[in-house]
Structures are given as structure tokens and as C-alpha cells.
Amino acid sequence: MKERIRTERIALIAFALAATAAAVLLLGGVRAPRRAWSPVTLDPVPASSAAAEGTPWHLAAQRATEERGEPTGRQAKVEVPSQLRHYSDSRRFLAIQVAEWKEHGVRTPPDYAGLSALIRGGELVEVPAATESYVLYGVGALADSGPFTHYDKPSARSVTIYGEEELASERARLEESAAHARAGLDALRAEADTLAKGERSRRAALRAQIAQREKALEGERESVEQLDVFYGDAKRRDDLFAERESLAALAADFGGRRYDLGDGRSRKEMKVRMLAHLRPAALAVLKELAGSYFEKFARPLPITSLVRPDEYQHRLSRSNSNATRIQTPPHSTGLAFDILYRYMTAEEQQHVMDDIARLRDEGRVEALRENRDHFHVFAFVDGRRPGEELITASLGHSKGVSRPQESDATEEPPSKSEVKARGREASKKESAKKEPAKKAGREAAGKPARGAARKEVAKKAAARPAARARR
């Protein structure tokens, strides 16, 4: 009897486990636990894939981009609400965002130094790299490890930001480098003057070296001229020194963490973190959309772009023709962010679009479903659309910069095919650069060009009849 009861219990437990497993499969798999994350304990956006491994950001990114088992992104069939489409006059989309910037006098950063001032002044707030409901995926993709630079918008030129001692050191370095280049040139030219007429291969090799040294010397001159343009005027020089101090102050204590402005890796990490900021009104909208999405699908919402300085936007426009080039791009205001829908199913996309459409009907945001796998969302400072007169006045500033179903370019990690293509292109450029030196080397090794050899043979043949006549 006991054995029979024991067997029935085992069978009942097995049946319950099987039923639970079937229910989980029908509901779309195991969902992430809905625990509360503490942003204070999370690291900033990782500056590299190696830094991301095993972090809360890495786990959230995996969850946001995992395979759905059905069409996603542009392959999914969706009905785009009218609220996320362009107006009949496509310029109006950007004009509304420009009007908001004008109405509230929103300060925009021309470069990282300007961005540091907004961060230190509390105008922008940091967006954690990952929370339960959203993950920053691709933010700061173009941030590099180079020195911080000042960006001059009228000329679209950048110059390295130095402190007083650093500027003196850089000038001394340039002078020493130029003197070394001139001495090398003089030596090469002197050697060329001593060559006999028959030493053609050596002369060709020296010419190649002289051209290379002259190019380097011209680069040094241009660097000196640029320093004179930006640091020659006393007021402009003091402004640049002030920008350096602002960056140094932020680097010394960036939310409790210190960054070394003299170290390339540390600079890149700092830049990526600076780009993970928004104005409070935009962050509130982001959290609302992300919370709704997580509540429905138990996935973090992937966000690819937040604030962008003008210099960063200009660099982005060189690699992406869809990047807007108007005077004040929406992302430079800190009021815009982009949502990546590449990995979303039709149901997921529809849910997010319906939420955005509701916010737009309420007059809280301007939005667009872009063809490049993103929803662009722009939040109004006080939750109210700018006046029609201001929008109309701003239409002229947006003329010719907007394309159907596109706003400005977005940031995201490159695909494997893009990485390979860039590698092939870089190899071609490197080979092209080396070709002149290879040619000079061949000539130096006693291999004259075929054209020159043919001319020499023809000259000898023409001289034979004259020699016979003299005899």
C-alpha cells in the first residue's frame, strides 16, 4: 500500500513539472526576474567589448538583442502610426525641435569641454548604462582615445585643448621636430648635389625621401599655424585654458571616479560616460517608455543615442550621410534619444510605437520611426509643444536637411560585415600610401622604368647613321 502511494506521488510531481514546463514554453520562455536595480551600483557604459564582459550591462544587452524566433526589425510587418511619420512638409519635423531649442534658450555643447560645463552645472543628468527596464546599447560608439579638443563651429575646425604648461611644451616639441626635419632635408639635398649624372636610381630614391620629409615639415608648419590662430589671441587663449580647467575638474571627480586626462584609455572611458547624459525632461520620457516595454515583455529597452556635442555630430555626419547638419541638431540639446527596434518583433514595435504616439498626442514629444532601425524621440522641456509661430519661423533653418523617414544618424556597434569592409578599405589605403616608396625602392635596386630604357635604345640607334657618315 505504501509503495502504491509513493508511486502515485512521484507520478503527480512529474505531471506537475511537465505542465509547468509546457506553460513556460507557451508563454515565450523564462522571463527575467523583476527585481529592483540600483543605478548607483552599476558601472558606466563599457568603452570596449572586453570591459563589458560579465557586467550587468552585458547581461542586459544580451537580453535585449537575443533571438526572438520570428521576424524582427524592418522584416517584421507593422503599421506605423501617423504620429511617427513625417509631415507632408518633411522640414517641419526638425523645425519643431529647433523651435523648442529657441523658445527655452537651451544651451548646447560644441564639444566635450562644453559638455563638461553642462554636466558640472547640473543641466544634464547621467543615464545609467543598464537598469531593469533599459540598456544603453552603442552610446558613444565614435568616442576615441585622442586628446580633448575645442571645436570652432564656423570653420568646423578642432584644436587640442592645452593647459599653460602643456601649450609651452607642445610649442617646444613642434620647434624641435621642425628643426630636425629641416636638418634632414638639408642633408638629403646636399647628398643629391654630389651625385654623378649616371646615378639615376640613387637620385630617384633621394627625391622620394626628400618629398616625404617636406610633407612632414609642412605638417609641422600647419600645426604651428593652428596654435597661433587659436592661442595667439589673449582672450581666446584664456577661454581655452578655462575649458581645460573645466575638463580637469570633471576628470578629478566624475561621480566619485577619477580619470587621467594624460592617458588615452582613460580619456575614452570618460568621453563615453559623458555621452551617457540627458536633460531631466528627456530622461523622464525614456524611463516611462522603458517601464511600459519591460512591463509587457520583460526585456530592457535598447537606447543607442543620447546627448551629442556639435563636434561629435559633425564627425558622425562624415561617416553617415543621414546625420543632420543643421545649426542645432536635436541630440545636441540633450532632449533627444533613439530607441533601437532592430531586434524587436512586430508586437514589441507596435507596443512602443503606440506608447510614443500617445505621448505625441499629449504634446509631450516629437517622434519619428526612422528607416535605420530606430525610433527618434524628442522630449519638450515643459511637456508642451512650441508655438506655431515659432515653428513656422524655424522652417527656414531646416530647409533641405531632412529626408523622408529619416532624422539624424544614430550610433550603434558596427556589424561583422561592416568591420570586414572597413578592414579591406584600410588595407587598400595603406597599400596606396606605400606604393611611391616601393617604386623608389625598385629604382634604387637598379630596375629603371621601361619607358626610360626604350628612350635610351632609340637614342643609340639614331646616333649610328651619323657615325657612319663621319667615317
Instruction: Lowest mean pLDDT of 190-194, 335-339, 399-403, name the range.
Output: 399-403
Q: Terminal CA-to-CA distance of the chain, rounded, Å?
A: 137
Which of 181, 158, 297 is CA-nearest to residue 230? 158
Which one has a higher pLDDT value, 16 or 376?
Answer: 376
Question: In the prediction, which pLDDT does 6 show?
Answer: 53
Q: What is the pTM of this model?
A: 0.73
Report which of residues 14 and 372 the model is more confident about: 372
- Under the banding of pLDDT at 50, 70 and 90, the label for residue 395 is confident
Q: Share the mean pLDDT of the chain.
A: 81
CA separation (Å) from 297 to 38, 42, 260, 377, 434? 21, 23, 41, 20, 54
Categorize the per-residue pLDDT at 54 as very low, low, confident or very high, splitting at 50, 70 and 90. Answer: confident
Enumerate residues 6+ apart whose C-beta is below 8 A from 301: 64, 133, 134, 135, 289, 290, 293, 294, 339, 352
The confidence score (pLDDT) of residue 315 equals 82
Q: What mean pLDDT comes out for the span 289-314?
A: 96
Estimate the crossing angle of helix 200-231 against helix 164-194, to 10 degrees. Answer: 160
pLDDT tens per residue, range 159-179: 999 999 999 999 999 999 999
pLDDT at residue 408, rounded to an integer? 59
Q: Which of 7-21, 226-240, 387-401 has the lowest mean pLDDT?
A: 7-21
Helices vs strands, H then E, count in the chain: 15, 9
Question: Mean pLDDT across the stretch 360-371?
Answer: 96
Cα-Cα-Cα-Cα torsion 243, 248, 254, 258, nearest 10 degrees, comes to 160
Higher pLDDT, 470 or 47: 47
What size, in residues, is the chain?
471
In the structure, what pLDDT confidence band is assigned to residue 415 with cuts at 50, 70 and 90?
Answer: very low
Bridge partners, 157 (sequence order): 152
143: confidence class by pLDDT, cuts 50, 70, 90:
very high
Grade residue 328 by pLDDT with cuts at 50, 70 and 90. confident
Comparison of pLDDT for 405 and 330, the residue scoring more: 330
Rg of the chain on CA atoms, in Å? 31
For residue 334, what pLDDT is reported?
97
Q: Does the structure show a pLDDT above 90 at 21?
A: no
Confidence tier at 471 by pLDDT (50, 70, 90): very low
pLDDT tens digit sequence for 92-119: 999 999 999 999 999 999 999 999 999 9
Confidence of residue 372 (pLDDT cuts 50, 70, 90): confident
